[in-house]
Chains A and B, each alone.
Chain A
Amino acid sequence: MGKVKVLMFGWELPPENSGGLGVACLGLSQKLSERGVDLTFVVPRKTEAMDRGFFNLLSANVNYKEIEVNSCLSPYISPEKYESILREEDNIYGETLFEEVAAYRKCAKKIALFEKFDVIHAHDWLSFGAGVEAKKVTGKPLVVHVHATEFDRGGGKGIDSRVYGREKEGMELADKVVAVSNYTKNIIVEKYNIPSDKVEVAHNGVNLKEKPVGKNLLEAFKEAGYKTVLFVGRITLQKGPDYFLEAAQEVLKHNEKIIFVVAGSGDMEHQIIRQASELGISDKVLFPGFIRGEELHGLYRSADLFVMPSVSEPFGLTPLESLINGTPVLLSKQSGVSEVLTHALKVDFWDTKEMANKILTTLNHDCLKDCLTENGKAEVDKITWDSAADKCLKIYQSLIK
């Protein structure tokens, strides 16, 4: 078989924004290129990513080009912003997003007729329409890749039926569905009624390097004899910050020398700050806001334990970032990353009492902390994009035959 030519539809690429989708698309694409896949990556609009050394990052052996379709689309709002719109009181996506998705779909048709390829691969619902359209006009096989579902984003509090409909359409019309975890596969099978044998699991990888030490934001607390427990993520229902605070309250009943840090911003921010004072623990909870880059790495490093209490997490990158920075992790079992990380503490997100038990015990035993960190760090090194790329390539080959 000659070189496999893939037309890939994405929504974003780093460092355009901090969403995990772009990072995942980039990691996978790079490994597919290494395997000789001829990749054309389509994003809906010209992004600054390309001008900011994005290609340098991939090095010269990466042989894919990016096509911009920005002429069709305006204005662009980042998915993060969409998500914040989504979480506003009336709980709807902005109309512009659907317009943009529709425009992307229309452009995809033109691109598909112009480009030469064997397989179409579309990432998440924002690009599913584009993939479906490309399949319609060319008859080429379609792979849809599910990084998150509407059920994750809703955090158990209802879904937007328009998004659900587009997700379902993509999965139904696809020849193969790729899920980032067994956790996500179960949702696809159960909530979207997709036959189990049509869904393959390809766990995400990471491409993390130890970062130079950032400023230690928690130094003063450390010196005062406090231990610190860290939450990093959007402050929104899906990420479970409210469960984090409930666990914090339980922990503080038994040990007052602990500080809880909630790093991030989001639609639930005010509610969470209010909850902290209602629980009577606001003097022990810090809200440093949205932190990124070196500062974030410094924060990971200075914490004693990282907690990811997500209500529904298709994969979850933050625990891996924490481990790389030498801080052990406590994960919600309702996450994809808990399937690939064995050297981690795990708990059901709703079981805040057990969460507190694990936090307290870990902070009380350095040997537990050290074992989790040392082994976890070594394990993260093995979580690469190679196996996901191998799986996708296999899928392409089976569909081309």
Chain B
Amino acid sequence: MPSVCFYFQVHQPFRVKKYKYFDIGKEHNYFNENGENNLNNKKVLKKVARKSYLPTNELLLDLLKKYPEFKISFSFSGVALDQMEMYSPETLKSFKKLIDTGRVEVLSETYYHSLAFLYSKEEFRKQVELHREKVKDAFNYKPNIFRSTELFYNNDLAAEVAKMGYDGILAEGADKVLGWRSPNFLYKPQGENITLFLKNYKLSDDIAFRFSSRKWKEYPLTAPKFAQWLSAINGNGEVVNLFMDYETFGEHQWKETGIFDFLKNLPEEILKHPDNNFATLSEASKKYNEFAELDVPFFTSWADNERDLSAWIGNSMQRDLLSKIYDLEEDVLKTGDEKLIEEWRKLQTSDHFYYISTKGLEDGTVHNYFSPYESPYEAFISYANAFNDFKLRVKNKLKTYEKTKTKS
């Protein structure tokens, strides 16, 4: 004890290009930006693969070979896997190699990295199902643990996920969830007999956000120092859930910050202490008992300081577009047009709405860093116009559909 549980999130959205009002009714490709900018999905994926995915995979494969005790967990959005297939098959192959070691757990999520659960349970279940198929195809793997988009969570979601047969679910170890309790134990959702894994946000964010911050008093963070912090949990914790974006390695924290050396040395440093070990989430769930049931009636997530849903539904532009995209559900499905249905789902990816957040715009904080648009208003304009074109296509399709129906 404790068991260190690494979980890395791999996700890339299909970003909407600069779509103008004049394009409505004329241009039906929303995701095919090909200029030298960060809306160019192919360019972004290739860059992230080169800077982060490929070198980190190689490093992790070495570590798995070198340390038989080393284990990790991953979750991949379906749209990230799609883009790897399209633009960087070698990256997909290198992930497959990791998973084939048998010491890498793959988690379940919604294919389109969406917030569907908030608007349509049916669509939510469908996207989880699609994701299971994708993970089976890509990695020949059947996940048992569920993680939701950006770790959003509440009692209802836990109940739904338990009903779907999962053994566990992930959430942010937010203060308002835990109160006086420690994130370093396993929990259960209120009234459900599955495991609730809570992110240790302090230790996770030390790596993901603070690693290269010179303003941080612990700078520079070294593997021995971090391993020492983990060892200090011995005796008052059983698991340490280090959950973060996989792009932390090489993309958010550049190679020059020393992040790869840190990762390379970490397993050895952690294993120096005989009581420390590594576990996948499923293993941890089997190994330890749940400490208590947690009642979370409100939504939490791992985004922003608020750790709630305000990053996606905080302003009226976001809420307007989200309700509009889900209002189309019945019509889109009625068309039976696979291409339209897929595009509708791509438009559900949470990132589109994250880019429209106006939180902290004045001090230019985290949303600006992660957004490929000049401002949330630019993001809204492109999405709203693309959406209007999409809606028009659905309408037209339905018209022809109705016509053929009456004819036959």
- On chain A, the residues within 8 Å of B404 by CB distance are none
Among candidates A356, A364, A375, residue contacting B358 with C-beta atoms closer than 8 Å: A375
Complex Cα gap A254–B23 (Å):
11
Query: Interface 1/0s, chain B 378-397, versus A by CB < 8 A?
Result: 00110011001000000000
**Stretch from B78-86, B136-144, B250-258, B312-320 that touches the partner:** B312-320
- On chain A, the residues within 8 Å of B317 by CB distance are 365, 367-368, 371
Complex Cα gap A45–B49 (Å):
69
Question: 7 closest A-B pairs (Cβ-Cβ)?
Answer: A367-B320, A360-B21, A357-B20, A367-B316, A361-B381, A367-B317, A342-B361
Among candidates A356, A358, A364, A379, residue contacting B362 with C-beta atoms closer than 8 Å: A379
A375 touches B385 (CB 8 A): no
Given contacts A342-B361, A356-B21, 15 further A-B contacts (CB under 8 A): A343-B361, A343-B377, A345-B377, A346-B374, A353-B22, A357-B381, A361-B21, A361-B385, A364-B21, A364-B384, A367-B316, A367-B317, A368-B380, A368-B384, A379-B362
Answer whether A365 and B375 are a contact pair too, CB < 8 Å, given A254-B21, A342-B362, A357-B22.
no
A370 on the B face (CB < 8 A): yes
Nearest-neighbour CB distance to chain A for B379, whole angstroms, equals 11
A346 touches B375 (CB 8 A): yes
Among candidates B20, B21, B361, B388, residue contacting A375 with C-beta atoms closer than 8 Å: B361
Answer whether A372 and B21 are a contact pair too, CB < 8 Å, given A365-B320, A367-B320.
no
Query: Interface 1/0s, chain B 17-56, versus A by CB < 8 A?
Result: 0001110000000000000000000000000000000000
Cross-chain pairs A/B with CB under 8 angstroms, 20 sampled: A254-B21, A254-B22, A343-B358, A343-B377, A346-B375, A353-B20, A354-B20, A356-B21, A357-B20, A358-B381, A360-B22, A365-B384, A367-B317, A367-B319, A370-B316, A371-B315, A371-B316, A371-B377, A371-B380, A382-B362
Complex Cα gap A354–B385 (Å):
13
Nearest-neighbour CB distance to chain A for B361, whole angstroms, equals 5
Answer whether A371 and B358 are a contact pair too, CB < 8 Å, given A254-B22, A342-B375, A346-B375.
yes
Query: Interface 1/0s, chain A 362-386, versus B by CB < 8 A?
Result: 0011011011100100010010000
Complex Cα gap A31–B396 (Å):
61
Chain B 321-350 residues near chain A, CB threshold 8 A: none
- On chain B, the residues within 8 Å of A343 by CB distance are 358, 361, 377
- On chain A, the residues within 8 Å of B375 by CB distance are 342, 346
Chain A 126-140 residues near chain B, CB threshold 8 A: none
- On chain B, the residues within 8 Å of A354 by CB distance are 20
B22 touches A361 (CB 8 A): no
Complex Cα gap A342–B388 (Å):
26
Complex Cα gap A320–B317 (Å):
22
Chain A, interface size: which category? 20 to 34
Chain A 164-193 residues near chain B, CB threshold 8 A: none
Nearest-neighbour CB distance to chain B for A166, whole angstroms, equals 38
Chain B 226-270 residues near chain A, CB threshold 8 A: none
- On chain A, the residues within 8 Å of B21 by CB distance are 254, 356-357, 360-361, 364
Complex Cα gap A367–B20 (Å):
17
Nearest residue (CB) in B for A360 is B21
Query: Interface 1/0s, chain B 303-319, versus A by CB < 8 A?
Result: 00000000000011101
Complex Cα gap A381–B316 (Å):
21
Query: Interface 1/0s, chain A 348-359, versus B by CB < 8 A?
Result: 000001101110
- On chain B, the residues within 8 Å of A344 by CB distance are 377
Complex Cα gap A347–B361 (Å):
18
Interface centre among A364, A365, A382 (most CB of B within 10 A): A365
Nearest residue (CB) in B for A251 is B21
Nearest-neighbour CB distance to chain A for B381, whole angstroms, equals 5
- On chain B, the residues within 8 Å of A360 by CB distance are 21-22
Nearest-neighbour CB distance to chain B for A340, whole angstroms, equals 9
Nearest-neighbour CB distance to chain A for B39, whole angstroms, equals 15
- On chain B, the residues within 8 Å of A382 by CB distance are 362
Nearest-neighbour CB distance to chain A for B337, whole angstroms, equals 26
- On chain A, the residues within 8 Å of B364 by CB distance are 342
Complex Cα gap A66–B388 (Å):
60
Nearest-neighbour CB distance to chain A for B144, whole angstroms, equals 41
- On chain A, the residues within 8 Å of B388 by CB distance are 364
Complex Cα gap A356–B320 (Å):
23
- On chain B, the residues within 8 Å of A346 by CB distance are 374-375
- On chain A, the residues within 8 Å of B384 by CB distance are 361, 364-365, 368
A372 touches B377 (CB 8 A): yes
Nearest residue (CB) in A for B381 is A361
- On chain B, the residues within 8 Å of A254 by CB distance are 21-22
Query: Interface 1/0s, chain A 320-356, versus B by CB < 8 A?
Result: 0000000000000000000000111110000001101
- On chain A, the residues within 8 Å of B362 by CB distance are 342, 379, 382
Complex Cα gap A379–B362 (Å):
8
Interface centre among B358, B361, B374, B381 (most CB of A within 10 A): B381
Complex Cα gap A268–B377 (Å):
33
- On chain A, the residues within 8 Å of B358 by CB distance are 343, 371, 375
Complex Cα gap A283–B231 (Å):
77
Nearest-neighbour CB distance to chain A for B279, whole angstroms, equals 45
Nearest-neighbour CB distance to chain A for B268, whole angstroms, equals 46
Nearest residue (CB) in A for B385 is A361
Nearest-neighbour CB distance to chain B for A268, whole angstroms, equals 28
Interface centre among A345, A368, A375 (most CB of B within 10 A): A368
Complex Cα gap A379–B20 (Å):
27
Complex Cα gap A370–B377 (Å):
11
Complex Cα gap A364–B320 (Å):
13
Nearest-neighbour CB distance to chain A for B255, whole angstroms, equals 32
Nearest residue (CB) in B for A255 is B21
Complex Cα gap A358–B358 (Å):
18
Nearest residue (CB) in B for A354 is B20
Complex Cα gap A357–B27 (Å):
15
- On chain A, the residues within 8 Å of B380 by CB distance are 365, 368, 371
Complex Cα gap A358–B374 (Å):
14
Answer whether A368 and B374 are a contact pair too, CB < 8 Å, given A342-B361, A357-B22, A375-B361.
no
- On chain B, the residues within 8 Å of A375 by CB distance are 358, 361
- On chain B, the residues within 8 Å of A370 by CB distance are 316
Nearest-neighbour CB distance to chain A for B35, whole angstroms, equals 15
Nearest-neighbour CB distance to chain A for B318, whole angstroms, equals 9
Complex Cα gap A357–B316 (Å):
21
Complex Cα gap A353–B362 (Å):
27
Query: Interface 1/0s, chain B 349-372, versus A by CB < 8 A?
Result: 000000000100110100000000
- On chain B, the residues within 8 Å of A353 by CB distance are 20, 22
